[in-house]
Amino acid sequence: MPDNTVIKKSSIKKSRRWSVAIRLIVALLLIAFAIFPVLWMISASFDNSNSLATQSLIPANAGIANYKRLFNKDPNFSFGEIKYWQWLLNSIKVSGISTILSLSITTMAAFAFSRLRFKGRVSILKSILLIQAFPNLLSLVATFALVSNFGNIVSAIGLNTHAGLIMVYMGGSMGMNIWLMKGYLDTIPRAIDESGMLDGASPFEIFWHLLLPLLRPILFVVSILSFIGTYGDFLLARVLLNDSSKYTLMVGLQIFTAGQFDKKWGVFAAGALIGAVPIMLIYFFLQDQIVGGLTAGSVKG
Amino acid sequence: MALADKPKDAHSIAESQLSKIIRVVFMIAFNAGALWFIYQAYSKGFYQIAILLGIIVVFFDVIFSLKKGYPFRWMAFGLAFMLVFVIYPIFFTLYIDFTNYGDGHLLTKEQALVQIENATYLPATGKSYDWTAFKSDNGEYALWLTDRSTGETFLAKPDEEIQATKPGDPGVGEADAKGVPQSIEGYTRLNTLLAAADKQLPNIKFGLAGEEGLSTVQVRSPNEAAELQIRYLYDKEADTLTDQETGRVYYDKEGIFTSTDGRTVQPGFRANIGWKNFINFFTSPALRGPIVRILIWNFIFPLISVVSTFALGVSIAIMYNEKDFPLKKLIRTLLLIPYTIPSVITILIWRGMLNSEFGVINRILNAVIGTAPRWTTEPIWAQIAVLIVNLWLGFPYMMLITSGALQSIPTDMYEAATIDGANSWQKFRSITLPLLLVAVGPLLIASYVFNFNNFGLIYLFIGGGPAIVGASTQAGHTDILISYIYKLAFESGGRGVQYGLASAISVVLFILVGAMTLFQYRFTNMWEEVSENA
């Protein structure tokens, strides 16, 4: 009997070792699948030949020529109007402003829904949920017409303006952010409000001095995620902006595919890499918080 | 125990002087700004927007002046933004799907009539003048006119009212033998030959038109200028246009004024065409065929995407779930990479890698097995390519959410199953999978809905192509409804944009997506929770 169990134990150990080995090999294959396009992008960006057809994983003539071309420092290369820094700046501006304004507005609204009791509260919350079932992406044509009409009334908020785009982003994010922030506010115990009320604080003081400091960490994560989401948007920016100096980075990168993509491949890769790295770093630094946010129900957009 | 439940609620605390001042100043500023905007919108004919803003102003004024409105002040801007940018576009979509809004019908009827009523013609007879041309240094023209019947003299410039002027008036020089001033301040007189040879001159309309009693003058021949007549007279009662020159009568026919012999007056305008956008679907096979294909693919594509990404994600989560698995953290971090890059960028990278001629994938395939699919031109391979790219984009997300959910499955369930003699596959089938599906089910539905509208992937990777042969619109084999809508509205490829048809399809999409999301709410009991929390 004792012999038997020893044999069994060692065979379990042995089969486990095999299983780990196989799984490590599978992991290697999966990692290759996951990171190959990224390696390919990096290698393309340092391949001076700037051509899709001749690129290899280890560039034959490595250098930074593509980066020079991207910043218009190469007189021999010209393709349309590359305004890379301008695009990046536009993206940061549009995403930053719409994130900050949207979260300020929605956090205040969420406070009312979470802490105040008034007639119509539940109906409004339900209506917001219902409206969220129809993302504003679907009324694309109407949104385009609306912003175009705005431009005919006051040109500063019409088509081809960042203000118009920011307002559309804000409008689209309201419902979801109100729900998200209300959810976080609901987790803060009411006892905190009550202690403030006993001291005679007004609702605004309770919001500003007691709740907001507690919300700060989650507000930070939500604003990062919201910023990344807006930064990565393509469709609305593509529809509402039509001047290359107004483009956001994602729209700017897309115009590389017009005409002969394979002849601008390296320059595109350089631009793509610079646009991707900051977002990748944010993800890795905030990995745990983001995973927490994901299971709260947000889907990457 | 909310704040307002207490008898001593917010409103019984006396509002401080400062916050009252801030509130009043805000209300004045907001009303001033909004009313100015409404006035601009109204005067330019954008009545819908004026009404929309009017509703918001009334709402703001009520809640900021009545005590009862206090809680709504917190959400005023949020609700206003939702009204303008989410709710209004939904209703506007519902409205334009019954119109022919699109190329040739871009304006409203009021706007079109303003343009039509501006049209003029040069009558064969009528008031005529002798003229002399002047030209300024920066190329602007002026005309000196002498009425042939009365001998009155005028100075006419483009877009300015024609002024009765005499030689010797301020800025006007003395008359020569013919009664024409030698000079006009800022202008040089053109001699008759030069003026007759000027090619621009006969096209310029001098004077200001549009207002009652005003009309423009145009050069007709080297020695005659004539007053232009308004070409069309609009009869509001009969809704007809009458051409003053020919006497032809035009009737409003689906957004364009058309005569009985088929002539039309440009520009056309947006008109209600009832259910025509929907009826076209049933009557036109060249329209219907592609749309049915797109619709089927629109359901299959997210289904395969969700199943494939979930399968891969779960497999990874389970394979590397053990706490002491070697290099666990590193493996997970590397596998997460596709999720951390903005998808626009990685989709475009894949577009290059899967290029049929030069892409690295096909170069490898050609070298290894001697043949490679044409990803962009063969429908089935294009669809497979889209699915592969979406698997790459989506599996890390599934890995994240399922490995989170795996932690919450109690281990004693597996121990009990082991004692009952279950093997790994049985444990997975009857414990892991059902519990996982309960935990992440709502996220799977959300993922399905997201991919149902995954415009970025379809458009950026392949533009919806390859094109469906025989389609009357720009439809492709990988198109989904949202990318098809985009192409109809913004990339018609020379076939004319069709906002009306695009909106009709948007309405179909609204219904489908709305139904799916409401199903998701049921699944999560979100709806009931709202009521319970009240």
pTM above 0.80, yes or no: yes
B89 and A139 within 8 Å at the Cβ level: the answer is: yes
Confidence (pLDDT) at B533: 54
Work out the angle between the directed axes of helices B379-407 and A2-45 (0-180°, nearest 10).
130
For chain A, say whether B409 makes contact (Cβ under 8 Å): no
Confidence (pLDDT) at B214: 58
Written as six digits, the tokens of B38 are 């409404």
**Which residues, 6 or more positions from B463, have their beta carbon under 8 angstroms from its beta carbon?**
B476
The whole-angstrom distance between residue A137's C-alpha and the CA centroid of its chain comes to 16
Q: Which DSSP symbol is given to B465? A: -
Report d(CA B80, CA B82) in Å as an integer.
5
pLDDT in tens, B275-305: 888 888 788 888 888 999 999 999 999 999 9
Asked if the model's pLDDT at residue B1 lies above 60, the reply is: no
Asked if the model's pLDDT at residue B211 lies above 60, the reply is: no
Which residues are bridge partners to A62 per DSSP?
A47
Which chain A residues in 191-250 lie under 8 Å from chain B, judged by CB atoms?
193-194, 197, 200, 202-204, 206, 228, 231-232, 234-235, 239, 250
A154 and B344 within 8 Å at the Cβ level: the answer is: no
Chain B residues with CB-CB distance to A121 below 8 A = 71, 534
Report d(CA B137, CA A14) in Å as an integer.
97
ipTM of the complex: 0.90
Confidence (pLDDT) at B33: 94
Confidence (pLDDT) at B12: 44
Distance set, CA B347 to CA A41, A114, A233, B29, B453 (Å): 11, 40, 13, 46, 15
Chain B residues with CB-CB distance to A186 below 8 A = 533
Work out the angle between the directed axes of helices A140-153 and B47-65 (0-180°, nearest 10).
80
Chain A residues with CB-CB distance to B418 below 8 A = none
Confidence (pLDDT) at B89: 94
Superfamily grouping for domain B120-230: D-maltodextrin-binding protein, MBP (2.40.430.10)
Cβ atoms of B218 and B228 within 8 Å: the answer is yes
Which residues are bridge partners to B234 per DSSP?
B241
Higher pLDDT, B1 or B244: B244
Residue from B483, B484, B461, B463 nearest B473 by CA: B484
> Least CB-CB distance to A239: which of B71, B316, B490?
B490
B4 and A145 within 8 Å at the Cβ level: the answer is: no
The long-range contacts involving A124-128, CB below 8 angstroms and separated by at least 24 positions, are A124/B75, A124/B79, A125/A182, A125/B530, A126/B527, A126/B530, A128/A174, A128/A175, A128/A178, A128/A179, A128/B82
pLDDT in tens, B361-408: 999 999 999 889 999 899 999 999 999 999 999 999 999 889 888 888
Sign (positive/negative) of CA torsion B480, B484, B490, B493?
Answer: positive
pLDDT in tens, B433-459: 999 988 888 889 989 999 999 999 999
Chain A residues with CB-CB distance to B298 below 8 A = none
Written as six digits, the tokens of A71 are 């910043």
Cβ atoms of B445 and B526 within 8 Å: the answer is no
Distance set, CA A259 to CA A52, A263, A265, B363 (Å): 14, 9, 12, 22
For chain A, the residue count is 301
**Cβ atoms < 10 Å from Cβ of B376:** 20
Average pLDDT of chain B is 85
Report d(CA B255, CA B116) in Å as an integer.
13
Mapped onto helix, strand or coil, the DSSP state of residue B455 is helix
Q: Identify the weakest region by mean pLDDT among B156-165, B349-358, B359-368, B396-405.
A: B156-165
User: Which residue matches tokens 């709806």?
Assistant: B527
Residue from A138, A151, A254 nearest B46 by CA: A151
pLDDT band at residue B239 under the 50/70/90 scheme: confident
- Give residue limits of the domains in chain B: 14-96, 120-230, 282-533
Chain B residues with CB-CB distance to A126 below 8 A = 527, 530
Write out the E strands in B137-243: 141-147, 153-156, 163-164, 187-189, 217-221, 224-227, 229-230, 232-235, 240-243
A154 and B360 within 8 Å at the Cβ level: the answer is: no
Distance set, CA A211 to CA A116, A117, A217, B89, B294 (Å): 14, 17, 12, 35, 49
Confidence (pLDDT) at B192: 78
> Least CB-CB distance to B86: which of A111, A131, A269?
A131
Cβ atoms of B261 and B254 within 8 Å: the answer is no
pLDDT > 90 fraction of chain B, expressed in percent and rounded: 34
B79 and A109 within 8 Å at the Cβ level: the answer is: yes
pLDDT in tens, B169-186: 777 877 777 778 877 888
Confidence (pLDDT) at B252: 85
With a cut of 50, list the residues of chain A below it in pLDDT: 1, 297-301
Query: β-strand B249-252 against B229-230: which pairing, if any?
Result: unpaired
Cβ atoms of B356 and B375 within 8 Å: the answer is yes
Report d(CA B312, CA A277) in Å as an integer.
26
Residue from B310, B328, B324, B300 nearest B386 by CA: B300
User: Which residue matches tokens 């009313």?
Assistant: B35
Please state whether the peptide bond connecting residue B222 to the residue before it is cis, i.e. omega within 30 degrees of 0. no
Chain A residues with CB-CB distance to B396 below 8 A = 34
For chain B, say whether A66 makes contact (Cβ under 8 Å): no
Cβ atoms of A209 and A201 within 8 Å: the answer is yes
Cβ atoms of A60 and A49 within 8 Å: the answer is yes
Higher pLDDT, B162 or B388: B388
- Give residue limits of the domains in chain A: 2-70, 84-258
* CATH code of the region B282-533: 1.10.3720.10
Report d(CA B181, CA B134) in Å as an integer.
10
Residue from B350, B337, B343 nearest B385 by CA: B350
Confidence (pLDDT) at A31: 96
Work out the angle between the directed axes of helices A140-153 and A162-186 (0-180°, nearest 10).
120
Cβ atoms of A148 and A141 within 8 Å: the answer is no
> Least CB-CB distance to A194: which of B1, B334, B530?
B1
Q: What number is the average pLDDT over the span B81-105?
A: 89
> Least CB-CB distance to A284: which of B19, B340, B450?
B340
For chain A, say whether B150 makes contact (Cβ under 8 Å): no
A136 and B530 within 8 Å at the Cβ level: the answer is: no
Report d(CA B19, CA B30) in Å as an integer.
16
Confidence (pLDDT) at B415: 87
Asked if the model's pLDDT at residue B427 lies above 50, the reply is: yes
A84-258: what CATH class?
mainly alpha
> Least CB-CB distance to A30: which of B79, B335, B401?
B335
For chain A, say whether B42 makes contact (Cβ under 8 Å): no
In degrees and rounded to multiples of 5, residue B205 shows phi and psi of -95, 120
A141 and B93 within 8 Å at the Cβ level: the answer is: yes
3-state secondary structure chain A: CHHHHHHHHHHHHHHHHHHHHHHHHHHHHHHHHHHHHHHHHHHHHCECCCCCCCCCCCCCCECCHHHHHHCCCCCCCCCCCCCHHHHHHHHHHHHHHHHHHHHHHHHHHHHHHHHCCCCCHHHHHHHHHHHHCCCCCCCHHHHHHHHHHHHHHCHHHCCCCHHHHHHHHHHHHHHHHHHHHHHHHHCCCHHHHHHHHHCCCCHHHHHHHHHHHHHHHHHHHHHHHHHHHHHCCCHHHHHHCCCCCCCCHHHHHHHHHCCCHHHCHHHHHHHHHHHHHHHHHHHHHCHHHHHHHHHCCCCCC
Helix (H) or strand (E) holding B342: none
